[in-house]
A and B are shown apart, each in its own frame.
Chain A
Amino acid sequence: MSVEQQDLKLKASENRGKSQLEAGFDLLGWDEVTQGSVLPSFDGDASNVAHQKAEEREYSDYNSYTATVASWRVQKPVFNIDVCIDCQNCWVWCPDSSILSRDKQMLGIDYDHCKGCEVCVEVCPTNPKSLLMFNEYTDLGDALASWPEKKKKEKK
């Protein structure tokens, strides 16, 4: 699969990670903050939200979905769709729900919320691994091009 094809599948909804959590210039004054620091998760009627996919939901500005919290990540996991067997191990283990999967098909990483903890790489059972850590600035194409070969079993 080409780099472009894999990248296309990783496209997020429009409002995911749109704001920086650390941004200080547009914080609200005491007269504008919510009463009791109670924060609504969605804009508008959310009665049907359980039946919607994440990218279809109208997450509010108060929801962490709309903020990116990954600016301090040093290393990122890169996902290789050609090796993955869709076992969902990484999806189960990811502590930040940053593995994007749909209908038990691995789609990629939510880089707005992934902290780069490497748990997904650790639990990936394939050979070679379908998730590997790269420097944050590594280009996806370069990362996939440098993917290791299948490791042969050593003879005892």
Chain B
Amino acid sequence: MTEIRWHSRAGQGAVSGAKGLGDVVATTGKEVQAFALYGSAKRGAALRAYNRIDDEQIFDHAKFMNPDYVLVIDPALAMTDDITMNDKETTKYIITTHLSKEELIEAIPALHDKKDRVYVVDCVQISLDTIKRSMPNSPMLGAFCKVSDMFELDYFLENMKRVLAKFPQKIIDANMEAISRAYNEVN
């Protein structure tokens, strides 16, 4: 079982991101779960979204998890939220930031002993450049795609097009560009 925890603010699209990821993963024949802790959350409130991925039907409905991946799509939350809670020795972190990896790790003591498991990408800037507003969820999917090595970029893009089918072509194209850029820029 692969478990993913998203750290985000309401409005940044972590819930849609988690569901979109679930949708794409399901096409590979795997069973998925995508859920979030929100409801009465106001825009801007910190929230967590979750994915579980497994070869068999997923029965665990607890919110508690020891994540394999922690995806942080809000730069400030990397500093203020407890992003390493319940982690494992193998947990990988993908963090949105304008800082370099070294600068970021320096700023977050909890990451000091996890240097080789931290990846950074500036999802906010990428989304501003491509989607023309701060929507860091799509780029994060591209970064996850690269770091997890779960699927080929082209496969992922094809399936995301289907997930986004209800949107105008312009928005779909912008999202594809955002995902591709993050895939290439994450380090």
Q: Please tell me whether chains A and B touch each other in their complex, using a CB distance cut-off of 8 A.
A: no
Give B residues with C-beta under 8 Å from A.
none
